[in-house]
Amino acid sequence: MAIESDDQTRPAPDLEAENRSLRHELEAVRAAHDSIQNNAFAIIDNTPDLIWSVDDQLRLMAFNQAFKEAQHRVVGREPRIGDFILYDVYNPDWLKEWELRYRKALAGEHVEWESTYPDDGGGIRYYRITLNPIRNQSGQISGVCGMNRDISDFRSMEEQLRSENRQRRAAEMRMQQLAYYDNLTGLPLRAKLLQILQEQIDSGERKFSHVSLVDIDRFRDINQSLGYEIGDAFLREAARRIQMNVERHSLVFRIGIGNFLILYGGPHDQVDQCAEHILTGMRTVFSVESVYLYCTVSIGITLINHDIHRPNRLIQNAEIAVRLAHEKGGDQVQHYSD
């Protein structure tokens, strides 16, 4: 019988070295894996978001510190592995709704919604909750991973931005009101008139056929003799009377101290009738601050034709007609003619 020598049974020196090297590499890989896993657990455990997972029976499999603290605060005890996840639902009315969401996640859906909870100070906190399916190595769904994130600060920022936007829009509207509307009478001003005429040019529509300029006769005398307070009150009443006597498709503007302009949008053959109504309405005695005033107006009318492309020219033509009415004694209507 042959007897093997020690040299025959002992591994070759290079094989032993290779085995040692492989063991060292394996240990290094394991250490690195453990380090990565520990770091991941530390990150998850220290995030303020509530993170947890359940199996396909909705039993807790894992959770982080934030979930643990929140559940203790809500239901009065800490969670345990194996707990049925739905026992801690804050509002019992939500039980069926939450279970349905978990079932959707177990069916492979990404589920997301927002909810509210009262905080310790009696306020309301806003949360965004997400549920995602967990798949095993074979691709089958074995559970659900959940995350609950406090979005209250985000909601506060949203509300602050909305509030700032509302304030900005209100400021813009006030600026527009000041730029386009008279603070005394509420009527649109010359800038609004020019804008409307430009819109009519751009659209090609002809909504208005005439420009009528209404000038209060001797208005400066009223201001100088009775004061600006009575003068302002008189202007408000004058603006009201003019508006009452214009055709409903027409627009009234205030373009000067005692000047009103009408974009006439009624039937062409009734522009003079509209002007006569204004004359009659203004002849009625005004009662302002216990002061009785008698007033008349002069009206100049010009046709809107090719001069619509030159809005200021239209106003100038109406002013020429008004001057003619003044020269003839006022309290009358005159038309502009080339």
Other C-beta atoms closer than 10 Å to the C-beta of 246 total 23
- Categorize the per-residue pLDDT at 89 as very low, low, confident or very high, splitting at 50, 70 and 90: low
Domains and CATH numbers, the chain: 47-180 (3.30.450.20), 185-335 (3.30.70.270)
Say if strands 210-216 and 259-264 run parallel, antiparallel, or are unpaired.
Answer: antiparallel
Amino acid in position 150: D
Q: DSSP 3-state assignment of 284?
A: coil
Say if strands 297-303 and 333-335 run parallel, antiparallel, or are unpaired.
Answer: parallel
Query: pLDDT by residue (tens digit) across 225-276?
Result: 899 899 999 999 999 999 999 988 899 999 999 999 999 998 888 999 999 9
Widest pairwise Cα distance in the chain: 153
Q: What is the pTM of this model?
A: 0.56
Which pLDDT belongs to residue 1?
A: 45
Which pLDDT belongs to residue 275?
A: 94
Token reading at 263: 């974009």
Which pLDDT belongs to residue 38?
A: 58
Cα dist from 150 to 99, 112, 124, whole Å: 21, 14, 11
